[in-house]
Amino acid sequence: MITFLIAIVILIIGYFTYGKFVEKVFGVKDERVTPAYANTDGVDYIPMNTKRNSLIQLLNIAGVGPIFGPIMGALYGPVAFIWIVFGCIFAGAVHDYLTGMISIRNRGAHLPELAGKFLGKAFKHVVNAFSILLLLLVGTVFVTAPAALIADLTPAWISMSVIIAAIFVYYIVATLLPIDKIIGRLYPIFGAMLLISAIGIGGALVIQGHPIPEITLQNMHPGGLAIFPLLFLTISCGALSGFHATQTPMISRTTQNENQGRKIFYGMMILEGIIAMIWAAAGMALFSGQGLNEILAAGGPAAIVSEVSIVTLGAIGGTLAIIGVIVLPITSGDTAFRSARMIIADYIKVGQKKIMSRLWIALPLFVASIALTQIDFNILWRYFSWANQSTAMIALWVGAMYLALQRKNYWIAIIPATFITMATFTYILNADIGLRMPIGVAYFGATLVTVGSVIAFFLTVRSRLAANDSGIRPIKVDEELEKSA
């Protein structure tokens, strides 16, 4: 219990200390015009206040990831707490803040465009494909996951197909309409439901005295799965998630002032980390490792969510908590498809003021997602985890390059970028959905890739700064914006 409470306190302190430090390193300019005003189009570029942007950002990034991931990560024991706390403060929140703020400085650009600008043109095409794949997987996972939870609360005659169809209808509407019409109006309500749900579960764990284990580095996974790299891909949302890099640019297009960035981007990631801590603690406190593993095998994380909610809050309170959890994936699924539509539109340079321009881009995405719903959830989640952390890796390298080219403290980005590069490539080389190499070979190969990435980073920085100093190729990391009439 003490470990759990201290972890929550550290996360909060992290926002006020390291978050402030990261903001200072970046260098906020209050007087600078943001894309919300410079590019106002009434669809995606619309100024909204800090409270609304913060709630939308939280619901954008907090799908089932900070619940399902930590529940599965709970199998490893309290070592999961360490990754959630320090991963969130020093990696995930930094990742979200830099992605959002660099996007603000570049007309609300999405990750593929930023990767092309800061890492090389080839990366724009690679990251574009990666981002669309990730968003499709997210959108699909965030259809099937809430559908399963809704099915448990509705009469048997309402089939899963009907529930999935209803969710898709909502996604289509939310993807096509201006951001302030559906998302901007519903998310404050959904945000309240989410916070009440999380506070209810967390409070019940403490008040009812459930035995949350204290900190230990021991691997408690009943199947003996290795902590590295599996834990760091199992718990992504809630610690470090590349999916967030596809969501923050959406809010960079609605942010009124740069000084709001720390609360919107860094702060909401910290809040997601607290949600992840609550669900990881619930998984450890209410189930033994073996019992948790058996329920996960039989009914997946959704079964754990239902069991935890009912046990801690009773039938009525538990049902309300489950509804709060259902809100999470739905409010990330809609923005996943919206982001995919925006990324494709930016890539092929098609304006989005006309609804038909949005429609012909969005519909193929939904068709592909419907086909993916036929694939087993556990398989989808594993591919999602791989694509997710690969995207986080790229986003952190973008952040490091941006800071380096401005001769600022790039270590705040390069350290987590190096770590997640090693973890991701170890997983890719070793996993059965990857190259299936022996773990020793995977460690060696991932080390070579990671060292090579670091060397390439410093050589590129040196070359580009030298070109800038000589006047051969001036660096323009920020685009100047003028407020539209």
Interval 241-260 mean pLDDT:
92
Locate 353 and state its tokens. 């003021």
Model confidence over 328-345: pLDDT tens digits? 777 777 888 888 898 899
Model confidence over 188-233: pLDDT tens digits? 777 777 778 888 899 999 999 888 888 888 888 888 888 999 999 8
> From CA 137, how far away is CA 310, in angstroms rounded?
29
Model confidence over 65-98: pLDDT tens digits? 688 888 888 899 999 999 999 999 999 999 999 9
Residues 16-21: contacts with CB under 8 Å, at least 24 apart: 18/89, 18/90, 18/93, 19/93, 19/97, 19/262, 19/266, 19/267, 19/270, 20/262, 21/412
CB of 23 within 8 A of CB of 266?
yes
Task: Annotate 19-50 with b (16+ C-beta within 10 A) or e (fewer).
Answer: beebbebbeeeeeebbbbbbbbeebbbbbbeb
Where does the pLDDT of residue 159 fall: very low under 50, low under 70, confident under 90, or very high at 90 and above?
confident
pTM: 0.89
Please say if the pLDDT value at position 29 is more than 80. yes
pLDDT for res 380: 65
CB of 4 within 8 A of CB of 77?
no
Residues 112-115: contacts with CB under 8 Å, at least 24 apart: 112/343, 112/346, 112/347, 113/346, 113/347, 114/398, 115/394, 115/398
Maximum CA pair distance of the chain?
Answer: 72
pLDDT for res 272: 93
Most confident of 144-148, 265-269, 332-336, 390-394: 265-269
CB of 426 within 8 A of CB of 471?
no
CB of 152 within 8 A of CB of 306?
yes
> From CA 234, how far away is CA 227, in angstroms rounded?
10
Between 145-154, 155-164, 204-213, the lowest mean confidence (pLDDT) is in 145-154
- Domain 2-395 of CATH type 1.10.1740.10: no
Please say if the pLDDT value at position 385 is more than 90. no
Question: 255 has which bridge partners?
Answer: 48
Task: Annotate 435-449 with b (16+ C-beta within 10 A) or e (fewer).
Answer: eebeeeebbebbeeb
